[in-house]
Copies of this chain bind each other. A is one copy, B any other.
Amino acid sequence: MMEQNKIPQATAKRLPLYYRFINNLNHQGKKRVSSKELSDAVKVDSATIRRDFSYFGALGKKGYGYNVEYLLEFFRKTLDQDETTDVALIGVGNLGTAFLHYNFMKNNNIAIKMAFDSDPKKVGTTISDVPVYHIEELDEKLGDIQVAILTIPASEAQSMADHLIGQGVEGILNFTPARITVPPNIRVHHIDLAVELQALVYFLKHYPLTTDEEE
């Protein structure tokens, strides 16, 4: 696939966050920004930000900071914002609908192109310009979409993942509590709402904060 695989994963995960904020700055007409300002905004230590940026070379100027426009252009390229990534959404419940209303195209070149559900009341409708097809039409409609968002009941997660992978999907954002098993060449990110909530509660009770700390 692509170039320098030396960027730490922790850094890679922060890139979209940086990108969005730099984008905001640009819209506000701001011309320069320091790692300290960025730090206040995105809640990441300024040394970490400088370190993160440094993996891509010297993006700033000493004593000045970073040029917003330049930074934006750089991250646009780095995050492949030129090419659109098409995504399919599986499961048009409340969570799925929330995604459909979320306009990813606005800042990020990611577009949910179609959604699937088995509920006949939903099939045939359009939500935020995204058509909802019946789950049985999946093979026929999916095309070469490689990314799927799973917002279905946990009990169906594994079989649906298997099916999607069979149709060429390579990345799955799984909102199901089920930890799905996939071949080693498939990437799955889990977002487990119950776990997140429980973890927050656990930290609250066992990790008293006095000095500054963050997730």
Residues of A with Cβ closer than 8 Å to B? 1-3, 5, 7, 9, 12-13, 15-17, 19-20, 40-43, 79-80, 85, 87, 93-95, 97-99, 101-102, 104, 107-108, 110, 146-147, 149, 170-171, 173, 177, 179, 181, 184-215
Contacts and interface: CB of A to CB of B under 8 A. Distances in A.
Contact of A209 (B185, B194, B215): B185
Secondary structure at chain A's binding surface: helix, strand, loop or mixed?
Answer: mixed
B213 A179 contact: no
B204 A3 contact: no
A169 to B, nearest CB: 10
Contacts of A177: 20
Given A1-B207, A2-B205, 9 more contacts: A2-B208, A16-B199, A94-B94, A94-B95, A94-B98, A104-B197, A110-B198, A173-B200, A187-B215
A184 B209 contact: yes
A110 B197 contact: yes
B184 A204 contact: no
Contacts of A147: 200-201, 204
A201 B85 contact: yes
